[in-house]
Amino acid sequence: MERYTLHRVIGEGSFGRALLVRCKSSQEEYVVKEVQLPKNQSKLEKSRREAVLLSRMKHPNIVAFREAFEADDLLCIVMEYCRGGDLLQRIRQQKTAQFPVDDILRWFAQMCAAANHVHDKRVLHRDLKSKNIFLTDNGTIKLGDFGSACILNSSKAYAHTYVGTPYYVAPEVWDNKPYNNKSDVWSLGCVLYELCTLRHPFQAPSWKSLILKVCRGAYPPLPSHLPYELQYLIKQMFKTNPKDRPSLHTILTSHRVARLLRKHLSSQAIEAEEPGRRTGRWNREEGVKVANLLGERSLIKTLTSEGVELPEAHCESREAAPRKQWHADPSDSVVQMLANASLISSESMTSTSQTLAGVSEPEGSRQRRRWAKDPPERLLSLLEKARLSRASSTFLINRGGEDPLVGPLSQPQGDDTDGPEAEVAVDEDRLQPRSDDEDTDFEEESPCDWMDEAEKMFSEH
Ligand SMILES: Nc1ncnc2c1ncn2[C@@H]1O[C@H](COP(=O)(O)OP(=O)(O)OP(=O)(O)O)[C@@H](O)[C@H]1O
């Protein structure tokens, strides 16, 4: 830390402070994310994972990693400083003035290129939201905060209980199915919708109606002045069945909107996207360098204690990884469950014995959790508790410790995005067979039962 001069604290997250510093030798400004070591092993692992993942991502639209070191009882991750702040602040500054379509297209193209690069490395970001997307002073998008990201095909230690931020969570996650590349696409759809409307697409006064809206893909219509391609894209990104959502690669290359987006991508970003797609693998030397940077002994111990390989060992290429497919059945068990639950008052919810039909799976497919095992009252009673204990534990479902149902773009006196059902656009053709099934090609290997974990957390408080 002696190589840097502290300017000021720019913010505090749930895992530590973010400092603005100046490098004494180069006079460049950087952000240092400081995380207390260790006490809580999972927080420590999360932070180390963020450093390792960030160091692997080299892309013009991803916050650049400079170095990481451990000093006293702190892990410090030094990264590029984005002077323009985060996209959420930028959206809020607009108040009611809509963004010009060109700004929306440019920012969205850049965030897609960044997230596509992440997917090409076979990493899921898992927490894409406007607060984790930054702007430089010249208005370039930089994707940041890899604290929740997950390396695919790794084992238990990476299967953590983090679910996401409720407003951005895809239907399949509520359905307790594995997080996959299309779940990130859904979240980016939410960010795009926010850019287009300055509102969350899915907003509701209760968990039940929020989840219902998400699982039905029911969102208020977009302003009609937006180009048809954008309207169509949002509709596609909010397909409730992940296999019907386009992958980021499709959005950037062959989707109807691709031509508009690529106009706004620098040749550097397009360049960065292509080689990543071809190689997309861990590099041994870089992995070793990062492991050394973070303090060899402790990092290796942490990452191998549960059978997890070191970063350089995550070398599977796209070809080598077995291709996983989504099952044919639509993911509407939550809708069913919540429809049943509507008969029950919230007071009687925990005492009801209502059950739900299980989701059928093709024979021989790998075991997935079913609602039959997690009766509807379980999710609802869990969420009731989550609301009550949000001050201490809701980072599981909302790391900010804020009210999970009061989103950053919510209105103080209720929100007009929560309008009557008749005004919302319902994704009528969500059961249509097709489309990017082939591109729903990777998902968490060992998803953990977040409901189990959440219940444990809440019962501790
Ligand atoms: N590279 C960066 N450039 C500019 N500002 C940053 C950068 N990284 C983080 N910040 C800002 O610093 C503050 C703290 O960020 P941090 O990532 O530590 O926590 P958070 O994202 O606010 O919360 P959490 O980690 O709990 O989700 C935020 O306001 C964020 O916008």
**Predicted pLDDT of residue 90:** 97
Q: Please tell me whether residues 219 and 260 are part of one structural domain.
A: yes
Q: For residue 373, is it within any domain?
A: no
Average pLDDT, integer, range 360-370: 38
Complete edge-to-edge strand list for the sheet that includes strand 16-23? 4-13, 16-23, 29-36, 74-80, 65-71
Residue 456 belongs to some domain of the structure: no
Same domain, 271 and 169: yes
Q: Are residues 11 and 108 in the same domain?
A: no
Residues 62 and 134 reside in one and the same domain: no
Whether residue 8 is found in the same domain as residue 153: no
Domain end point (choices 47, 78, 109): 78
Interface confidence (ipTM) of the complex: 0.96
**Protein residue with least CA distance to atom 13, ligand 1:** 11
Q: Is 33 annotated as a binding residue?
A: yes
Between CA 320 and CA 315 the distance in angstroms is 9
Distance between Cα 132 and ligand 1 center (Å): 7
Note whether 44 and 92 are same-domain residues.
no
Name the residue with tokens 């990104």: 237
Which pLDDT score is estimated for 118?
Answer: 93
Q: Is 11 a pocket residue for ligand 1 (Cβ < 6 Å)? A: yes
CA 80 from chain centre, in angstroms, equals 21
140 Cα to the center of ligand 1, angstroms: 17
pLDDT average, residue stretch 357-373: 37
pLDDT tens-place string over residues 31-58: 998 887 767 777 667 667 778 888 889 9
pLDDT, tens digit (0-9, with 9 covering 90-100), for 104-138:
999 999 999 999 999 999 888 988 999 999 999 99
Which atom of ligand 1 is closest in space to residue 127's alpha carbon? Answer: 27
Looking at per-residue pLDDT, the higher value among 95 and 379 belongs to: 95
| Same domain as 160, residue 26 | no
Would you say residue 323 has pLDDT above 50?
A: no
175 has catalytic annotation: no
Q: What is the reported pLDDT for 271? A: 62
Residue 140: Cβ within 10 Å count: 17
Confidence (pLDDT) at 175: 83
Atom 29 of ligand 1, residue of closest alpha carbon = 11
CA atoms 21, 22, 23, 28: torsion sign: positive
What is the pLDDT at residue 406? Answer: 56
Q: Which atom of ligand 1 is nearest to the CA of 81?
A: 3
User: Residue 76 above 50 pLDDT?
Assistant: yes
Is residue 194 located within the same domain as residue 258? Answer: yes
Which of 133-147, 202-216, 424-438: highest mean pLDDT? 133-147
Residue 224 CA from chain centroid, whole number: 28
In whole angstroms, what is the distance from residue 401 CA to residue 391 CA? 6
Q: If you take atom 12 of ligand 1, which residue's CA is the nearest one?
A: 11
Residues 68 and 120 in one domain: no
Considering 73, 86, 102, 127, which one is annotated as catalytic?
Answer: 127
For the chain, what is the domain count? 2
Please indicate, yes or no, whether residues 54 and 164 belong to a single structural domain of this protein: no
CA distance 461 to 386: 11
Q: Taking 70 as the threshold, does the pLDDT of residue 192 lie above it?
A: yes
Helix, strand, or coil (residue 332): coil
Specify the CATH number for the domain of residue 36: 3.30.200.20
Check: CB of residue 294 under 8 Å from CB of residue 51.
yes
Provide the token pair at 33: 């994310």
Length of the chain: 461
Average pLDDT over residues 252-259: 88
Judge whether residue 221 has pLDDT over 70. yes
Which among 78-87, 141-150, 288-297, 348-357 has the top mean pLDDT?
A: 78-87
Mean pLDDT of 234-250: 96
Q: Which domain holds residue 106?
A: 84-276
Task: Assess whether 244 and 130 both reside in one domain.
Answer: yes
DSSP for 191-250, please give it: HHHHHHHSS-SS--SSHHHHHHHHHHT-BPPPPTTS-HHHHHHHHHHT-SSGGGSPPHHH
